[in-house]
């Protein structure tokens, strides 16, 4: 066990964002958290890294657990000059060899001397990933890592995550709204909407009524992802309207 | 060597510049420009306090600055924005300080000396305090450098790496309080903020890494101090403000040079493309 959440609730101000979440990640396991916008996915990750305090329940980390966190986005203030090379070594210095190896692992070209601010969104995402990998984390937390990537880029990205998991033997928690691709590669899927709607093996979740109700709205604009369930969706139209 | 008042003044200025440079960078990066002002204003209350209790000025100022630094650090992010808190604390502390000073009977203190500093009156003890404070601040910042940087860049990334951004902020504000306390005699309350921000702001355009920016800010600060001292001696102008004038001039001049240089570069490369 790397990390475990027991009956976790998080309250921000008067709003209860997360309610009674249970979650466990083991070494070498990919757990995917999916949910619509505002379902508390990012809040869950932030609570796991300790940026937010649970109002109820607890988080148990394996002793000495090292976490690699890849945030959804990173705002870089233009007042702060920062090269990629320097950023990768925050907070800990690393050898040039280690940096090159990690850059390759994250699928990055030579841009060590570039300013962080000058990177494209996709490049910055990979730099963030590289930085997380440099510490050889036990647990990798990815917040919407494929946002802004096209389908091809997304597929490449997941292939890389798969390789990383094998070479580091780390656990991965990935937050996404990108349904189908994610689910094929993860051991466990948690469908989140403030609380855990349903969870289980990917195939099981994708056929569950709760999952379909939650993502029903996606049918029109993301018909590609849900193509195989089209039949079910016709039938659950009422639920979607009601939701 | 230390018997010459100009030499003492130069050493005092260099000491303050060295400590102010990295702190100034963090103030610029974290957009806390008002923080220097606020701590400096609050220092007036410290001056009044030391006069009342007949303690050294340095001790009173340090106490009040630390108190303010800790209060602001603790309260920020709890319903009040940083700049609001700083505004409330800075102005009230300054006002209370001025009122308190006016009640001191029999003491006619030269407020101007604390507002603008009196670098030419720096004695050997002051010099020891300044360099002691500067060394302490540099050690603190140097020791926490990476953690401070990462907390500045992204509190979430810092937390994931096991760094507490709140603690780092406290380190920063305490270091700032120390610098204000040791610098009050040299550049005075009103000009400390300028010495913190302007060298760092000047260095920004010419730096590729945070470390380069801090070193560059230190060089600019030290040069401005020495040049300002020389100019003020030559023209018999008030020393503190002259130093700030020099650093402000450097800010403008280096930015203009940079802009012209960039434009020429672009035109050159455009010309080549056309050719």
ipTM of the modeled complex: 0.82
Beta-carbon neighbour count of residue B252 at 10 Å?
10
| Confidence tier at B87 by pLDDT (50, 70, 90) | confident
DSSP A115: B
Cβ proximity of B189 and B41 under 8 Å: yes
**Rg of chain B in Å (alpha carbons):** 20
Cβ proximity of A41 and A86 under 8 Å: no
Residues of B with CB under 8 A from a CB of A: 28-29, 31, 146-147, 149-150, 152-161, 163, 204, 207-213
Q: What is the pLDDT of residues A90-102, one digit of tens each?
A: 888 888 888 888 8
Indicate if the alpha-carbon torsion angle B223, B226, B230, B231 is positive or negative.
Answer: positive
Q: Which of A93-107, A222-236, B206-220, B255-269 has the highest mean pLDDT?
A: B206-220
Say if residue B66 is exposed, middle or buried (CB neighbours under 10 Å; 0-12, 13-18, 19+).
buried
Q: What is the mean pLDDT of residues A2-22?
A: 87
| 3-state SS, residue A144 | coil
Q: What is the pLDDT of residue A227?
A: 39
Q: Which of A2-6, A198-202, B22-26 has the lowest mean pLDDT?
A: A198-202
Cβ proximity of B25 and B210 under 8 Å: yes
pLDDT exceeds 80 at position B10: yes
Supply angle C-alpha A32, A33, A39, rounded to 5: 165
Supply angle C-alpha B95, B96, B102, rounded to 5: 95
| 3-state SS, residue A95 | coil
* Nearest-angstrom CA–CA distance, B248 and B218: 15
- Chain A residues whose CB is inside 8 A of the B158 CB are 91
Report which of residues A241 and B96 the model is more confident about: B96
Nearest chain B alpha carbon to A137: B161
Supply angle C-alpha B31, B23, B69, rounded to 5: 75
**pTM as predicted:** 0.84
**Percent of chain B residues topping a pLDDT of 70:** 94
CB within 8 Å: A141 and B160: yes
Closest approach of chain B CAs to the CA of A77, in angstroms? 7
Cβ proximity of B117 and B130 under 8 Å: no
Q: Give kind and range of the element (H or E) at residue A111.
A: none
Q: What is the pLDDT of residue A221?
A: 46
pLDDT exceeds 50 at position A223: no
Query: Buried b vs exposed e over B76-95: b needs ≥16 C-beta within 10 Å?
Result: beeeeebeebbbebbeebbe
Cβ proximity of B124 and B177 under 8 Å: no
pLDDT exceeds 50 at position A63: yes
Beta-carbon neighbour count of residue A112 at 10 Å?
17
Closest approach of chain A CAs to the CA of B66, in angstroms? 26
| Confidence tier at B108 by pLDDT (50, 70, 90) | low
Cβ proximity of A76 and A117 under 8 Å: yes
CB within 8 Å: A71 and B154: yes
- Among B31, B150, B160, select the one facing A49 at the smallest CB separation: B160
Q: What is the pLDDT of residue B184?
A: 81
| Confidence tier at A183 by pLDDT (50, 70, 90) | low
């Amino acid at each position: 066990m790397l990390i475990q959440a027991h009956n976790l609730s998080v309250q921000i101000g008067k709003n209860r964002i997360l309610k009674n979440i249970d979650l466990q990640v083991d070494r070498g396991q990919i757990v995917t958290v999916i949910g619509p916008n505002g379902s508390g996915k990012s809040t869950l990750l932030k609570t796991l890294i300790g940026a937010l305090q649970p109002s109820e329940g607890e988080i148990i980390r394996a002793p000495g657990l090292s976490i690699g966190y890849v945030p959804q986005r990173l705002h870089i203030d233009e007042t702060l000059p920062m090269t990629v090379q320097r950023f990768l070594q925050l907070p800990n210095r690393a050898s040039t060899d280690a940096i090159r190896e990690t850059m390759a692992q994250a699928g990055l070209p030579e841009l060590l001397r570039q300013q962080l601010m000058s990177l494209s969104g996709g490049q910055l995402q990979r730099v963030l990933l590289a930085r997380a990998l440099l510490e050889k984390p036990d647990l990798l937390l990815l917040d919407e890592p494929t946002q802004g990537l096209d389908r091809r880029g997304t597929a490449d990205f997941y292939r890389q995550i798969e390789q990383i998991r094998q070479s580091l033997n780390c656990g991965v928690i990935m937050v996404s709204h990108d349904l189908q691709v994610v689910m094929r590669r993860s051991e466990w899927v948690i469908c989140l909407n403030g609380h855990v709607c349903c969870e289980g093996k990917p195939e099981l979740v994708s056929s569950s009524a709760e999952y379909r109700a939650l993502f029903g709205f996606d049918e029109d604009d993301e018909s590609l992802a849900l193509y195989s369930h089209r039949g079910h969706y016709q039938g659950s139209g009422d639920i979607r309207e009601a939701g | 060597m230390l018997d010459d008042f100009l030499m003492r003044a130069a050493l005092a200025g260099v000491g303050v510049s060295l400590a102010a440079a990295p702190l100034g960078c963090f103030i610029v990066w974290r957009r806390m420009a008002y923080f220097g002002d606020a701590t400096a204003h609050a220092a007036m209350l410290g001056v009044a306090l030391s006069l009342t209790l007949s303690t050294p000025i340095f001790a009173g100022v340090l106490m009040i600055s630390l108190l303010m630094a800790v209060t602001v650090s603790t309260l920020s992010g709890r319903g009040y924005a940083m700049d609001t808190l700083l505004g409330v604390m800075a102005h009230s502390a300054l006002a209370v300080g001025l009122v308190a000073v006016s009640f001191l009977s029999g003491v006619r203190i030269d407020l101007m000396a604390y507002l603008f500093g009196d670098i030419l009156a720096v004695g050997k003890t002051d010099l020891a305090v300044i360099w002691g404070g500067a060394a302490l601040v540099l050690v603190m910042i140097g020791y926490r450098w990476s953690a401070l940087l990462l907390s500045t860049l992204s509190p979430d990334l810092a937390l994931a790496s096991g760094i507490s951004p709140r603690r780092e902020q406290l380190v920063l504000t305490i270091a700032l309080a120390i610098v204000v306390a040791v610098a009050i005699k040299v550049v005075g309350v009103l000009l400390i903020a300028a010495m913190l921000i302007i060298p760092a702001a000047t260095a920004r355009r010419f730096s590729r890494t945070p470390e380069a920016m801090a070193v560059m800010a230190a060089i600019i600060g030290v040069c401005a101090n020495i040049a300002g001292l020389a100019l003020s001696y030559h023209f018999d102008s008030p020393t503190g403000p002259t130093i700030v004038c020099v650093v402000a001039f450097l800010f403008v001049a280096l930015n203009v040079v940079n802009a012209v240089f960039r434009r020429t570069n672009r035109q050159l490369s455009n010309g080549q493309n056309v050719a």
